[in-house]
Amino acid sequence: MKNMKDNYKIKINKCITNIKNGMHKIPKKVKVIMIVLFIVLLIIGLVVTIIVESKKQKYEEYTGKNLNESKYPGYKERINKLQEEHPNWTFTLFYTKLDWEEVIENEGHQDNTEYPLNLIPDSSKYPEDWRCEIDKEKTFDNGTWLCASDKAIKYQMDPRNILNEENIFQFAELKYVEGAQTEKGINEITEGSFLEGNSITEALIQAGKSANLDPYFIASRLIQEQGRNGTILSRGCEHNDTVVYNPFNINAKGNSQEEIIQNAAEYAYEQGWDTLEKALIGGVEFLKEGYINVGQNTLYLQKFDVVNQDDSLYSHQYMQNLLAPQSEANNMKEIYEISDTVDANLNFIVPLYENMPEEVSEK
């Protein structure tokens, strides 16, 4: 062993000696050029590293002093107001490093895509200019949805329209918090729905705890997807001679009701979801693996794919319904209020965009 080490040292010393001897033979001008080239390459490398790092998304706990108001107007006063009213709440600043107008352009409907990323109900309840110019009168999904305009998308995506008591739960981090999510809250929100019953309540709490996922979010998502009475996908539908369940509406897409159910049922069949319990457990795991673990850990981020952990943007969204995060957030807020845990130690992840206008997006 000692001889091997000695031989190794001899070889290294010989190599160093050869390099020194070789350097002495190089003309002085060439040495200077080599040094200059080395310095230039080093500087280029540092600049590239700085540029790459500056574009990387990052998360930072809000302290009240670490938010540039001139760069991100209208955020600070809204966050501070919420913290004053709920001292146990914390806020995480999510620097998306994305330009606001580019985000809206990518979220908007393109004329070369079959399915718009964002849809609104075909209803007179919403302004006429919430319908996109492309496919203005064309209906999608089951025939009751319209393509959303950039104006509608801006209003729903602008974080400053969400930083208030009514909508803040769109930013709630969807994790299990001991003592914050209770059976009382689940029972209250599921009463009279297809989820009613102690066994389902216990299953939702346990599934959330096991997956470190907010059980209130799970219940809210199920009601959002199925309605209070449920649908054929939560009551069970036959596919390949097997009754299957898909209460989370996973892969439920298409331009007709028949196509939507067919796609969702086929997915459930492939997963072996032949009971509602299996479908609930499998659906929770799907949410965790497919969304939570890639950084889409709020209602907002599951709708708007502005997280770049998987090296892609704008395509990985849970639903097309532009209004879904707002609706689900209202359900979650209601559950927290009913269970008297709205002031628990909850965290909210607030996205920041570059080049935000001073004016808050209007409806």
Confidence (pLDDT) at 108: 92
Tell me the torsion sign for CA atoms 36, 37, 39, 40: positive
- Model pLDDT, residue 145: 92
Alpha-carbon distance of 66 to 209, in angstroms, equals 33
Residue 347 backbone dihedrals phi, psi, to 5 degrees: -115, 145
Taking 70 as the pLDDT cut, the residues of the chain under it are: 1-26, 28, 30-31, 34, 38, 42-55, 111-113
Q: Quick one: pLDDT at residue 167?
A: 97
Q: What is the DSSP letter of 195?
A: T
User: What token pair was written down for 323?
Assistant: 């209004």
The secondary structure element, H or E, covering residue 32 is: helix 28-55
pLDDT digits (tens, 9 = 90+) for 68-123: 999 999 999 999 999 999 999 999 999 999 999 999 999 998 766 678 899 999 99
Task: Say what the pLDDT of residue 24 is.
Answer: 64
- pLDDT for residue 139: 86
* Nearest to 80, CA basis, from 174, 167, 164, 169: 164
Instruction: Indicate the pTM of the whole model.
Output: 0.78
Q: Which residues contact 359 (CB under 8 A, 6 or more apart)?
A: none
Cα 292 to the chain's mean position, in Å?
A: 7
Name residue 61's beta-bridge partners: 92
The string of DSSP codes covering 265-299 is: HHHHHHHT--SHHHHHHHHHHHHHHHTGGGT--SH
